[in-house]
């Protein structure tokens, strides 16, 4: 009657009547169950249930405290892994049975016992519980595989995005550490503003792609050591729209959407004198205002073929001077408090100069 896989199921019996307890225990063992624990003391039985794994409980309702209802209440506050409870009771009225079922019991049999019926219910409940646990295990396993696969895809996506951002920087004779500093400094300001952590993380990932549009700008302009002509500046300014077009995702990725927004708008200025749309003030998306500030500060503090790195004092003075002109004055006030952190980041993520 009992399949081999269920013979070692842990079955607990709680009944304060010794004769009933002996009958139930011997019948369950005769059924083939190897792990049967019987308690005439309901408090001892409850303590064991709360501190050990078990697979099925046969529970009398009408006992000295704690009675069966109290045991069900206490078990209800504990995750029981769907282990079934069968009420074995002489309480014949429907109200008590209904109350027991509402408190979490799965089934019931009435005293005097019909042993064949009881044992069938034990087998059925154990089989259902085993099947339910197997399904839950399979679902948990599938969910874990989905999480792992999603994480792997996300890591691959991030790797592609970082490679895309580095491609633009290498073309512009900049370094991979430059784009890392932009992401980290943008996140630093975002956290200081008290923005949502999820958005700050997206900003950290999106900010390094701000200049990806430079892929579409001729090297002769990107690498020119002197000042650009008006025509060359017009060509250079196109990188904002090129970057937006590269990153814009018709399937909607929050990361690429934010990156496209930054690429398009990070050369806008607070006073409206920037490009490509001449936006001003809060017309400029917050993401782009943050990245614009970080990008200029990092560019000033970095050496390039056409200029040496500015000192921290000079770069910081320029940022403060441009509050309300180039930059959002509120963000400048925040950055002022973070200058020491930004300088520490410059040291931690310093550019590695090529040898030879």
| Gap between the Cα atoms of 337 and 335, Å rounded | 5
Q: What is the pLDDT of residues 281-339, one digit of tens each?
A: 999 999 999 999 999 999 999 887 677 899 999 999 999 999 999 999 999 999 999 99
The least confident of 13-27, 152-166, 224-238 is 152-166
In this prediction, residues 32-49 reach a mean pLDDT of: 91
Measuring CA to CA, how many Å separate 273 from each of 15, 268, 278, 283?
85, 7, 6, 13
- CATH architecture of the domain 172-349 equals Orthogonal Bundle (1.10)
Q: Where are the domains of the chain?
A: 4-142, 172-349
| Burial of 340 (C-beta count, 10 Å sphere; 0-12/13-18/19+) | exposed
pLDDT, residue 165, reads 67
Most confident of 20-24, 134-138, 142-146, 191-195: 191-195
| Gap between the Cα atoms of 354 and 356, Å rounded | 7
Return the SS3 of 277. coil
Phi and psi at residue 59, to the nearest 5°: -130, 125
pLDDT, residue 265, reads 98
Q: What is the pLDDT of residues 143-184, one digit of tens each?
A: 888 888 877 777 776 677 766 666 666 655 555 588 889 999
Indicate the pLDDT class of residue 141, thresholds 50, 70 and 90. Answer: confident
Measuring CA to CA, how many Å separate 299 from each of 2, 179, 182, 311?
76, 11, 10, 11
Q: What angle (nearest 5°) sits at the alpha carbon of residue 345, between those of residues 339 and 347? A: 110
pTM, rounded to two decimals: 0.60
Task: Enter the tokens of residue 243.
Answer: 């970057």
> In CATH, what number does 4-142 get?
3.40.50.2300
Residue in the block written with tokens 């969910």:
143
Q: What is the pLDDT of residues 85-96, one digit of tens each?
A: 988 887 767 888
| Gap between the Cα atoms of 185 and 346, Å rounded | 10
């Amino acid at each position: 009657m009992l399949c081999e896989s269920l013979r070692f199921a842990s079955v607990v019996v709680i009944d304060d009547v010794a004769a009933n307890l002996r009958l139930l225990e011997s019948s369950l063992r005769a059924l083939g169950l190897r792990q049967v624990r019987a308690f005439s003391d309901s408090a001892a039985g409850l303590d064991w249930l709360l501190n050990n794994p078990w697979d099925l409980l046969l529970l009398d309702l009408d006992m000295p405290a704690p009675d069966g209802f109290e045991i069900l209440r206490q078990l209800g506050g504990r995750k029981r892994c769907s282990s079934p409870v069968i009420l074995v009771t002489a309480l014949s009225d429907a109200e008590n049975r209904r109350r027991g079922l509402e408190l979490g019991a799965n089934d019931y049999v009435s005293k005097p016992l019909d042993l064949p019926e009881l044992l069938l219910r034990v087998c059925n409940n154990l089989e259902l519980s085993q099947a339910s646990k197997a399904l839950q295990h399979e679902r948990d396993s599938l969910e874990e595989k989905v999480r792992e696969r999603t994480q792997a895809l996300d890591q691959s996506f991030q790797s592609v995005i970082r490679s895309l951002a580095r491609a633009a920087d290498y073309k512009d004779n900049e370094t991979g550490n430059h784009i890392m500093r932009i992401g980290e400094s943008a996140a630093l300001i975002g956290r200081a503003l008290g923005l949502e952590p999820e958005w700050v993380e997206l900003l950290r990932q999106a900010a390094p792609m701000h200049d990806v549009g430079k892929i579409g700008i001729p090297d002769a302009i990107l690498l020119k050591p002197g000042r650009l002509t008006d025509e060359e500046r017009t060509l250079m300014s196109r990188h904002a729209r090129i970057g937006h077009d590269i990153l814009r995702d018709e399937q909607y990725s929050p990361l690429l959407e934010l990156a496209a927004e930054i690429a398009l708008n990070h050369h806008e200025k607070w006073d409206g004198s920037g490009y490509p749309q001449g936006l001003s003030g809060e017309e400029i998306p917050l993401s782009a205002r943050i990245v614009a500030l970080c990008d200029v500060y990092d560019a000033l503090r970095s050496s390039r073929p056409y200029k040496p790195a500015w000192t921290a004092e000079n770069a910081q003075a320029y940022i403060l001077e441009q509050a309300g002109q180039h930059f959002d004055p509120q963000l400048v006030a925040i950055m002022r408090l973070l200058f020491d952190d930004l300088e520490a980041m410059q040291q931690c993520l310093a550019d590695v100069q090529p040898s030879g």
